[in-house]
Structure 1
Amino acid sequence: MLQSEGFLRVKDAAIVLGVSPNTVRAWGAEGKIPEYRHPVNNYRLYKRAELERILKKLEQSRSPETPGARKKRAK
């Protein structure tokens, strides 16, 4: 299980998601992100494809309001 196989360590996963490494660890412990363990050193590993899927969900939840909604608020 290496980065070349599509797995990332905590620090790299945090960079991809734009959060701190502690947030990645917490999300893994809460089951929000599937965690895997390296068989030799027991490092936490995360699949890049799963992180990208989660990132898309985060971006959708953070997306700005639609233009119509802004006009309604401005009135």
Structure 2
Amino acid sequence: MTKLCEYALTAEAAEILGVSQNTIRTWAKDGKIPVHRNPANGYRLFKRRDLDQFLKRIERSAKKPGK
């Protein structure tokens, strides 16, 4: 069974990534960040590992020459 603490709700995911909650929702809808839904209430859930990987991808792309 997966622990709930492995997931972040929209507000916390936005805080982790330093963007608004609407940006997180848009990125999830566009497939930029994997999103899961709580089957009981439909809330968006983001795996912390996915958020960390997303940040690393952004950091790598920012370090590329010409950016």
Distance 2:15 2:59 in 1: 15
For the residues of structure 2 that align with 1:58 and 1:33, how far apart are their CA atoms? 12
**TM-score, scaled relative to structure 1:** 0.74
What does 1:1-75 align with in structure 2 at a 5 Å threshold? 2=4, 4=5, 6-63=6-63
How many residues are paired up? 64
Matches of 1:12 and 1:19, distance apart in 2: 10
Please tell me the root mean square deviation across aligned C-alpha atoms, in Å.
1.9
C-alpha distance after superposition, 1:13-57 (max 9, x if no partner): 011111111100000000111110001111000000010000111
Distance 1:12 1:64 in 2: 28
State, as a whole percentage, how many aligned pairs show the same letter. Answer: 44
1:50-73 Cα deviation digits (max 9, x unpaired): 1000011112233497xxxxxxxx
Cα separation, 1, equivalents of 2:21 and 2:62 = 20
Question: Higher Cα Rg: structure 1 or 2?
Answer: 1
Larger RCO (alpha carbons 8 Å, 6+ apart): 2
Give structure 1 stretches of 5+ with no counterpart. 66-75
Higher helix share: 1
User: Counterpart of 2:39 in 1: which secondary structure?
Assistant: coil
Gaps of 5+ in 2: none
